[in-house]
Amino acid sequence: MTTSKEFSACVAHYDPDALPVAAAQDIVRQWAMPRTRDAQIERVGLHDALGRVLAEDVISPIDVPAFDNSAMDGYAFASEALSRGASALDLAVAGTALAGRPFTTAPGANQCVRIMTGALIPPGCDTVVPQELVTREGDAIRFSSAAVRAGQNRRLAGEDLAKGKPALLAGRIVRASDLGLLASLGIGEVAVHKRLTVAFFSTGDELRSVGETLSPGSLYDSNRYTLFAMLKRLDVETIDLGIVRDDRASLEKALRQATESADVVISSGGVSVGDADFTRELMNSLGDVAFWKIAMRPGRPLAFGRLWSGERAGTGRSALFFGLPGNPVAVMATFYFIVREALLAMSGATRQPLAVIRATAAGPTKKRAGRTEFQRGIATRDDDGRWSVVTTGPQGSGVLSSMSEANCFIVLEHARGDIDAGDDVDIVPFDGLI
């Protein structure tokens, strides 16, 4: 477990008032360690394994395929027949091999076996000539010896997965193909990491929950819903702690409760410079928390560190803490580009880099060098297969509709200045993200 001193040392190299996104990501990466205790592992059946993180390598207990079999519908024969030098081969059909119904005797030197895809290659045979390259008359076939090479159209035992070799590695997030693959090995149960538990709440006296009436100056809390949705997509357990008023006692209660019950605590709002000093004071009394101004837009203010549930920092249960900014778009941008990787790492997953596509900017965009900007974009694929992207309308960090309108983030790197139409830009598609 990292200590307060280590935290300060880790954070001290950076200027908290102008932290580049990459530096923030680095620090978070160092702090987001997978939980390694045995108690964090459980065994689940195949259906329940989808989307979970494998806790152990899966070693193949069998060869897949388990036997040499045909890759085509055609005729199996011994390739020696090809080396006799004749330009055409004439073979007699000795029988038929079907998938699940093998032909068990070796055919003679001038014989072959009618074979269907997936059927066991009969003894003595090593090659399959596809049926469309053959002329058949009664029980005889003829084909050009140039039609096929020795060993062709045969799937070898263990070619897909070899017995004793790892089929899937620990840290993998189980996908559809993996479920099929596990089934193909006859495995019905796997060891996975227990789901991470993430507690979250919103802060702000102005916030109302859905179902309440808005009074002048109040607004509905949307962050708890976007956070819930983004967390669900990462397959973590969520604890919604509601709206917390802007006062020390309420915040302290929420933070303690969250730290008692979760591996990670995420709040939104209340971390900008203007916010009451009690936030800062309180977080420092409950743990090691650094307040950053990240050189990113949206998402400049952010608090990050470790909280403890005990009387003092270093006592009781601990949880990683992310204090996200209040603005709804900033919550989403900081979640995807700062928090996401930490949650995956703590879940035991190997790194899952976001898919980045190179696109052409359809129009000019103002961009200030010295910060990373995550603009909302609409990307389309041109007839020639290139992606081009336009920004959605107003890019204010409170304009949540820009996220619903967009289908990607346009990532404008730290050092970059204004963008001209026709420039290359990186986009991160929302598909699979949102």
- Contact residues for ligand AMP, defined by CB under 6 A: 202, 204, 206-207, 219, 221-223, 268-270, 272, 325-328, 398
301 interacts with Mg ion by CB under 5 A: no
Q: What angle do CA 239, 50, 37 make, to 5 degrees?
A: 60
CB of 270 to ligand AMP, least distance (A): 5
CB of 327 to Mg ion, least distance (A): 10
Q: Which of 154, 155, 151, 128 is nearest to 63 (CA)?
A: 155
CA distances to 143, 238, 258, 302, 412 from 367, in Å:
68, 36, 38, 21, 8
Q: Tell me the two tokens of residue 199.
A: 């507690």
CB of 205 to Mg ion, least distance (A): 8
Q: What character string, x for contact with Mg ion (CB under 5 A) and - otherwise, covers 177-216?
A: ---------------------------x------------
Q: Which does 69 bind (CB under 5 to 8 A by kind): Mg ion, ligand AMP, none?
A: none
- By residue count, the chain amounts to 434
CB of 7 to ligand AMP, least distance (A): 23
> Is-contact 129 74, C-beta < 8 A?
yes
Q: Which does 298 bind (CB under 5 to 8 A by kind): Mg ion, ligand AMP, none?
A: none
By C-beta, is 223 or 402 nearer to ligand AMP?
Answer: 223
158 interacts with Mg ion by CB under 5 A: no
Q: Which does 226 bind (CB under 5 to 8 A by kind): ligand AMP, Mg ion, none?
A: none
User: For residues 177 and 113, what is the distance between their CA atoms, to the nearest angstrom?
Assistant: 33
CB of 169 to Mg ion, least distance (A): 43
Q: Which does 327 bind (CB under 5 to 8 A by kind): Mg ion, ligand AMP, none?
A: ligand AMP
269 interacts with Mg ion by CB under 5 A: yes
By C-beta, is 141 or 303 nearer to ligand AMP?
Answer: 303
By C-beta, is 67 or 220 nearer to ligand AMP?
Answer: 220
- Under the rule (CB under 5 A), what is the footprint of Mg ion? 204, 269-270, 326
